């Protein structure tokens, strides 16, 4: 099998038939001599808007492959795949327990189950079918379930997001490919394995999670929902038991902490148990939304109607050396009330697979670090909570919304443009009243700069929503080379523990920690 790179296809001719025809011309062979092919990568080159084209890399089988390797864009295909074989020899006293069923928890459970370890997965929130109903009721009534919401429940926070799967982590062992292939096996579209910026979307991701859960159960794993970790019983710095729901003790000497970045009560419990935890930097800001058509025209030019809703990624460093950047950009999406604590409000963005709404939204956030909020481990959490409390009060329980013109002029908005798609209620407000001055100034400086990259980005009627604070975990649970915390038997895992930043990287970290466990223990 050979690999052909740098195959350029005009956007108007983007079909599989034309792709094979183009490849046959590049290789100077009859297309009938191509027996099989697989798309490895597909990306859009939009640098010249008058010459928009896709760039493909494909693997294919054909006649006389060795004679085609003199072409600079042709090489022998690299068919390496993810492989892992458990090598542990130690007997398990109890089955491993996984706290949390977000991406890291699910993939940790999946790996363990595939290899015969039969884990127990406890989840403070509801199974996804019930969680959807609870969240939809919250959007309509503002009645929050603090244990099952946009942040907590089966699938994790990513369940109510765009379902973006691109990641910047390095992956020599092909774990990312394995994650994407597992998603496809459980109902995701096959294109996620080769698109440059793959996404599943909220609606499809829910189905994938249910299928993955059922597969784990079929392999001997067990799920318990509405089951919250409330205490750790430790002797001589070694885990012996866990307490759930404040009233049940479960024997446990190996625990995977796959908690999310919003598990503040769990963070506090871990600190009380003297777990080695560090404060870390994160970012806060607002959501910004525009007409999706405006973004499409700015990114693609006049041929935008031939292409899917446009994505953007923006970065800027202010005069005071603060980073301002776009985060979790959602083409054709919705701004979502993502609160998880009563009397506190935080926003996020989500899209369905089809990205069908007429608005684009993204967080625009400013980096903050312990110098801004204090070196104490809980300082970052309290910094987030104060902003969220202000947002809740300002919006009277609803999402505070403001135009960019009024934000710059420090005025409460009295009207907004028509391009608003929100999951939850909203109130016209003045977001300046929420944010520290240095955040407000940095946002204005950054948004104005972004208009030099995307025309109209800082238009006066651009909508802003507050407040975005959950970009990443505010803490990091220190772990050693074997993946263990300073308390023996506890494996900090995923985004909440400070080792990931999205669905795919969280899933990869769940796999890594399962591997660490299987290097020590054998399945029963």
Residues of the chain with CATH 3.50.50.60: 97-277+475-518
Residues in CB range of 451: below 8 A, 6 or more apart: 457, 458, 459
Sequential pLDDT tens for the chain (524 residues): 999 999 999 999 999 999 999 999 999 999 888 999 999 999 999 999 889 999 999 999 998 898 888 889 999 998 889 999 999 999 999 999 999 999 999 999 999 999 999 999 999 999 999 999 999 999 999 999 999 999 999 999 989 998 999 998 989 999 999 999 999 999 999 999 999 999 999 999 999 999 999 999 999 999 999 999 999 999 999 999 999 999 999 999 999 999 999 999 999 999 999 999 999 999 999 999 999 999 999 999 989 999 999 999 999 999 999 999 999 999 999 999 999 999 999 999 999 999 999 999 999 999 999 999 988 889 999 999 999 999 999 999 999 999 999 999 999 999 998 889 999 999 999 999 999 999 999 999 999 999 999 999 999 999 999 999 999 999 999 999 999 999 999 999 999 999 999 999 999 999 999 999 999 999 98
pTM given for the model? 0.96
Residues of the chain with CATH 3.30.70.2700: 2-76
Tell me the C-alpha distance between 49 and 193, whole Å: 26
Q: Which of the 8 DSSP states describes residue 432?
A: G
Query: Do 446 and 324 form a contact (C-beta atoms < 8 A)?
Result: yes
For 2-76, the fitting CATH number among 2.20.70.10, 3.30.230.10, 3.90.420.10, 3.30.70.2700 is 3.30.70.2700
Residues in CB range of 410: below 8 A, 6 or more apart: 430, 432
CATH superfamily of 97-277+475-518: FAD/NAD(P)-binding domain (3.50.50.60)
Tell me the C-alpha distance between 69 and 76, whole Å: 8
Tell me the C-alpha distance between 31 and 6, whole Å: 18
Nearest C-alpha neighbor of 287 from the set 437, 420, 141, 473 = 420
Q: Which tokens sit at 180?
A: 């994407």
DSSP E strand stretches across 94-196? 97-99, 120-122
C-alpha dist (Å) from residue 193 to 42, 166, 197, 200, 429: 10, 10, 10, 11, 42
């Amino acid at each position: 099998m050979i690999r052909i790179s740098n195959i350029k296809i005009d956007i108007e001719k983007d079909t599989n038939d034309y792709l094979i025809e183009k490849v046959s011309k590049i290789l100077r062979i009859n297309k009938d001599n191509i027996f099989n092919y697989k798309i490895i990568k597909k990306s859009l080159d939009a640098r010249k808007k008058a010459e928009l084209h896709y760039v493909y890399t494909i693997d294919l089988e054909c006649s006389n492959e060795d004679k085609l390797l003199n072409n600079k864009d042709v090489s022998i295909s690299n068919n390496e795949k993810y492989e892992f074989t458990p090598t542990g020899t130690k007997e398990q006293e109890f089955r491993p327990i996984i706290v949390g069923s977000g991406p890291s928890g699910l993939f940790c459970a999946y790996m363990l189950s595939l290899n015969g370890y039969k884990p127990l997965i406890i989840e403070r929130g509801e199974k996804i079918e019930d969680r959807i109903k609870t969240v939809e009721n919250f959007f309509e009534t503002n009645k929050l379930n603090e244990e099952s919401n946009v942040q907590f429940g089966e699938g994790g926070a990513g369940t109510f997001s765009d379902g973006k799967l691109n990641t910047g982590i390095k992956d020599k062992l092909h774990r990312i490919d394995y994650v994407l292939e597992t998603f496809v096996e459980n109902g995701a579209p096959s294109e996620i394995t080769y698109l440059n910026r793959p996404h599943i979307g909220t609606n499809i991701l829910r189905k994938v999670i249910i299928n993955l859960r059922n597969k784990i159960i079929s392999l001997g794993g067990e799920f318990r929902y509405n089951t919250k970790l409330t205490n750790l019983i430790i002797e001589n710095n070694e885990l012996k038991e866990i307490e759930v729901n404040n009233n049940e003790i479960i024997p446990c000497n190996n625990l995977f902490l796959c908690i999310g970045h919003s598990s503040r009560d769990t963070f506090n419990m871990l600190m009380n148990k003297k777990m080695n935890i560090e404060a870390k930097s994160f970012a806060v800001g607002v959501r910004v939304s525009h007409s999706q058509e405006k973004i499409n025209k700015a990114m693609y030019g006049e041929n935008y109607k031939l292409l899917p809703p446009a994505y953007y990624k923006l970065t800027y460093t202010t005069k005071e050396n603060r980073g301002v950047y776009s985060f979790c950009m959602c083409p054709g999406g919705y701004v979502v009330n993502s609160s998880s604590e009563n009397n506190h409000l935080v926003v996020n963005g989500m899209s369905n697979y089809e990205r069908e709404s007429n608005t684009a939204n993204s967080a625009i956030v400013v980096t903050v670090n312990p110098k801004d909020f204090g070196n104490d481990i809980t300082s970052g959490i309290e910094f987030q909570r104060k902003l969220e409390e202000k947002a809740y009060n300002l919006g009277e329980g609803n999402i505070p919304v403001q135009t960019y013109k009024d934000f710059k002029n420090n005025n409460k908005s009295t009207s907004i443009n028509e391009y608003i798609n929100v999951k939850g209620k909203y109130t016209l407000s003045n977001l300046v009243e929420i944010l520290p001055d240095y955040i407000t100034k940095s946002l204005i400086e950054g948004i104005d700069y972004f208009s030099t990259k995307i025309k109209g980005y800082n238009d006066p009627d651009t909508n802003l929503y507050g407040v975005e604070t959950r970009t990443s975990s505010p803490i990091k649970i220190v772990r050693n080379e074997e993946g263990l915390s300073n308390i023996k038997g506890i494996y900090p895992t995923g985004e909440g523990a400070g080792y990931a930043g999205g669905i795919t990287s969280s899933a990869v970290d769940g796999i890594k920690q399962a591997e660490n466990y299987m290097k020590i223990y054998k399945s029963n």
